[in-house]
A and B are shown apart, each in its own frame.
Chain A
Amino acid sequence: MPEKEVIIIGGGAAGLAAAVACQQKGIEDILIIERGNYLGGILNQCIHDGFGLEKFRTSLTGPEYAQRYIDQVMDKKIPFLLNSMVLNLTPQKEVMVVSRNGLQRYQAKVVILAMGCRERTRGAIGIPGTRPSGIFTAGVAQELINLKDYMVGEKIVILGSGDIGLIMARRLTLEGAEVITVAEKLPYSSGLPRNINQCLYDFDIPLLLSHTVVDIEGNGRLSGVTIAQLGKRGGIIPGSKRKIICDTLLLSVGLIPENELSREAGIVLDPITGGPQADERGQTSVSGIFACGNVLQVHDIVDNVSLEAEYIVEGVVEYLKGKLTKEREIKVELGNGLRYVVPQKLVSIKDTIFSFRVNRPGRKKTLIFEEDQRIIKKKYFLRVNPAEMLRVKLSSSELEEIKTLKVRLV
């Protein structure tokens, strides 16, 4: 069985950044395994701009952002496989790959999980009604329009106000479709405020908060949806139902980290993030298997994916040198106001970046890190929004003495 020092599963934003970082740190024996027929993953269909402001200090489109990494992969001749899908990963880091050349097994010293995420579908949210064509997840519609030259419809309703749904509202409008409305179940949007402004309000597309689709009609093709307003407890407000005639429904109702392989390898997952439980190096519960990007936690912006990939590679390098030892195990406890925290545990003493999402929008909030009652660090936020990932760095000296760690938002 061929041996590799580092096998990276996934050639999208996380996988590419991890590969380039590994190469820069002197790791030579790398293999990227990509399921699709090109590198860059989902960035290729994200043709809008606004990527790279943090990483490159300039506004790039998705394909341009990907190309910056692809150029480095090509330039440094980092090996990659396309049209190759990993079918199985073992806790011993055996990787089984299928491609047109048949089955191939590899033995890796380190595996970096970079499989990204996929979209929640109609089935996952259980909308009643018929089963006509014309219902797409927003990302699939994005792929069809931006890469395959297939226009999905003419009169569109979008359910869910995630960023991809908002971006698609603008994209469909510019391609000549009529976007009738965007309905959001929650009383606030799950997309970034800038996208609500430049994708909806710029084109006078109404955003209906506390609204959802309660019925789908149509035989063959979608002919209409019924939307209703939701009360404070999430129930339908009587008399609020109304029918909208449309031929297309896009769903932008959340992303799920794609962790089937992780599960097979026996990796412990976090039920909230849907990604592996990780320590401060991005190492999962299985020694030598690391995770970064949307497979670990769904990110808001791609720059954070790249930064996370580069950050976990520091741990990969130490692991390969045999210097990554478990010095302690502290579970990071989650207090009020926060939906999740990554990493979920600390096993060493190291400068650590913590990522969070808040439960609901708020103003003038303080994030508190504490050991029992002793405050270790505070960070103030003028505004917090579940659409945005918060990232806070704690230094090794701040984390050195602690026996427990709790984070909460007040």
Chain B
Amino acid sequence: MEREFVCIICPNSCQLKVEYEGKTIKKIAGAQCSKGEAFVKNEITNPLRVFTGSVLIENGNFSLVSVKTPSPIPKKYLKKIGEITRRIKVNAPVKIGQIVASNLLDNNIDLIATRKIEKKKSLSF
């Protein structure tokens, strides 16, 4: 079958014309780089996305810390991971890259912090 995909790997947003059967790509046109084919391969087998969101912070200089999955995860899990992030709370300080939750959904999905959070300074008068 024939379908058009928009590659989401970079802002070029290449429009890919793809001819495929089942899980095999037969013809692909429109990709400006080799990442396009790998993207389509995933799209027709198991579409992958990076999850980004935020979780609550205790005693931090901000109330939230932004998080992401270190690598793309199956698209179907995005909403479930979103639900989970609303129940997680971590303690400050947090470093960029620090794991804030691991093995979510028993599927080896981790969340790492993407922002540095320091401990809240106690107020002095």
- Cβ < 8 Å to A, chain B residues 56-77: 56, 62-64, 66, 68, 75
Q: Are B83 and A176 in contact (CB under 8 A)?
A: yes
A334 on interface, CB distance cutoff 8 Å: no
With both beta carbons as reference points, the residue of chain B lying nearest to A47 in the complex is identified as B66
Number of A-B contacts (CB under 8 A): 88
Select which of A47, A49, A192 is within 8 A of B54 by beta carbon: A47
Q: Are A194 and B114 in contact (CB under 8 A)?
A: no
Interface size on A, residues (CB 8 A): 34
Given contacts A176-B83, A194-B11, contact A49 B52 (CB under 8 A): yes
Q: Are A301 and B11 in contact (CB under 8 A)?
A: yes
Q: Are A61 and B66 in contact (CB under 8 A)?
A: yes
A174 on interface, CB distance cutoff 8 Å: yes
Chain A residue contacts of B116, Cβ below 8 A:
63, 67
* Mask: chain A, 53-96; 1 = CB below 8 Å from B; 0 = not: 10000011111100100000000000000000000000000000
A202 on interface, CB distance cutoff 8 Å: yes
Interface centre among A67, A174, A202, A388 (most CB of B within 10 A): A174
Q: Are A47 and B75 in contact (CB under 8 A)?
A: no
Please choose the segment from A3-11, A108-116, A146-154 that sits at the chain B interface, where 4 or more of its residues have CB less than 8 A away.
A146-154
Q: Are A149 and B56 in contact (CB under 8 A)?
A: yes
- B50 CB, nearest partner CB in chain A, Å: 5
- A102 CB, nearest partner CB in chain B, Å: 20
A321 on interface, CB distance cutoff 8 Å: no
Known: A62-B66, A148-B64. 4 other contacts (CB 8 A): A44-B115, A48-B52, A192-B11, A197-B8
- Return 23 A-B CB contacts under 8 Å, by A number: A47-B54, A47-B68, A47-B115, A53-B11, A59-B50, A61-B68, A62-B66, A63-B66, A63-B114, A67-B116, A145-B54, A147-B62, A149-B54, A149-B56, A174-B82, A192-B13, A194-B8, A194-B10, A197-B8, A198-B8, A202-B49, A202-B78, A383-B15
